[in-house]
């Protein structure tokens, strides 16, 4: 029996713009998905197309048990974390000898198949490797870890990443003269943020600007706006939508002393708050009996 876990992720900067080749920054966060795989003659496992594809791809069969600290469809990369942890646990239980890079590639292929063509290579890369990752075109590179203090606010409004990405694509097709400069500006904010990575006040301002630009792309939601305003009013350096928007989650960058206050303000607006910081480990072995 092998148990592996893999973390969720947030986009710190650049979501949507990365789809058009602009830079972005994503970070693995502490909440994880834990997956146990056991060789078995009569396999039992949750009904999940991601898990079925993992076994198909690896060419073996076994039982699976999942425990998740990540809400699905919230934009925190839970399906990528499930896929990565399942592949790692199968790899370990059946002694298949795949390297970490193979696991990240396989996980992306599986996500793409299950999500019918649209998947984020960022989610599977970040979940496998952990840390802060700079996305630049097709390249992904780990940056030095930073102890950013974050509060994630889940609006509890389910959203579809595919739909939101399509919506931005439609808007761009209709109004390229407006949307292209917005995407360029998001790229510029990401670069400015990279230069201010050690200055949380400045980083917070970059988050606020990034959020305004995401709103201009039409991926805001009244509930996320409420959570963002509440987080700022209760002491966050800055706050923004994270991921595809249209619901899902927001993040607030906070001074350590304000984290509980910001979390309380988010909960007072009926959001679910997660106080968290960077995960530097990525996929991790928990147990092998």
The footprint of ligand MEV (CB under 6 A) covers: 11, 15-16, 18-19, 75, 120, 122, 161, 165, 243-244
User: Which tokens belong to 1?
Assistant: 């029996």
Min dist CB 106 to ligand MEV, Å, is 18
**Pair 130, 281: CB distance under 8 Å:** yes
Helix (H) or strand (E) holding 170: helix 161-174
Question: Is the CB of 16 or the CB of 259 nearer to ligand MEV?
Answer: 16
Query: How many angstroms separate the CA atoms of 140 and 126, rounded?
Result: 9
Q: Find the angle CA(5)-CA(148)-CA(188) to the nearest 5 degrees.
A: 110
- Smallest CA-to-CA distance from 258 within 233, 274, 235 is with 235
Residue at shortest CB range from ligand MEV: 120
Question: Is the CB of 117 or the CB of 222 nearer to ligand MEV?
Answer: 117
Min dist CB 90 to ligand MEV, Å, is 25
Min dist CB 82 to ligand MEV, Å, is 15
- Smallest CA-to-CA distance from 147 within 190, 198, 76 is with 198
Min dist CB 94 to ligand MEV, Å, is 30
Q: Give the active site residue among 92, 105, 123, 170.
A: 123
102 is catalytic: no
The alpha carbons of the chain give a radius of gyration, in whole angstroms, of: 19
CB within 8 A of 153, min separation 6: which ones?
Answer: 224, 227, 228, 231, 239, 249, 250, 251, 252, 266, 271, 272, 273
- Helix crossing, 176-195 with 161-174: angle to 10°? 120
Q: In what order do the strands lie in the sheet with 150-154?
A: 238-242, 249-253, 150-154, 272-276
User: What residues are annotated to the active site?
Assistant: 123
């Amino acid at each position: 029996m092998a148990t592996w876990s893999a973390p969720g992720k947030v986009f710190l900067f650049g979501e949507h713009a990365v789809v058009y080749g602009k830079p972005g920054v994503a970070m693995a966060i502490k909440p994880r998905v834990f997956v146990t795989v056991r060789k078995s003659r009569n396999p039992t496992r949750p009904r999940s197309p991601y898990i079925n594809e993992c076994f198909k791809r690896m060419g073996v069969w076994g039982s699976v048990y999942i425990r998740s600290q990540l809400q699905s469809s919230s934009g925190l990369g839970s399906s990528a974390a499930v896929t990565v942890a399942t592949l790692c646990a199968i790899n370990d239980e059946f002694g298949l000898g795949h390297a970490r890079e193979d696991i990240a590639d396989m996980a992306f292929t599986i996500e793409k198949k299950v999500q019918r063509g649209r998947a984020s290579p960022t989610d599977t890369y970040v979940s496998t490797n952990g840390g802060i990752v700079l996305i630049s075109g097709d390249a992904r590179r780990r940056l030095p870890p930073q102890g950013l203090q974050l509060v994630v606010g889940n609006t509890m409004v389910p959203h579809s990443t595919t739909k939101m990405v399509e919506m931005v694509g439609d808007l761009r097709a209709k109004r390229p003269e407006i949307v292209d400069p917005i995407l360029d500006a998001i790229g510029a904010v990401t670069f400015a943020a990279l230069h201010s990575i050690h200055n949380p006040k400045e980083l917070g301002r970059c988050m606020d600007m990034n959020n305004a630009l995401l709103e201009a792309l039409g991926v805001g939601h009244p509930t996320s706006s409420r959570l963002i305003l509440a987080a700022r009013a209760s002491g966050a350096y800055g706050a923004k939508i994270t991921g595809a928007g249209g619901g899902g989650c927001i993040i607030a960058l906070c001074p350590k002393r304000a984290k509980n206050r910001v979390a309380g303000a988010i909960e007072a607006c009926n959001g679910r708050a997660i106080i968290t910081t960077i995960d530097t480990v990525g996929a991790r072995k928990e147990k092998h009996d």
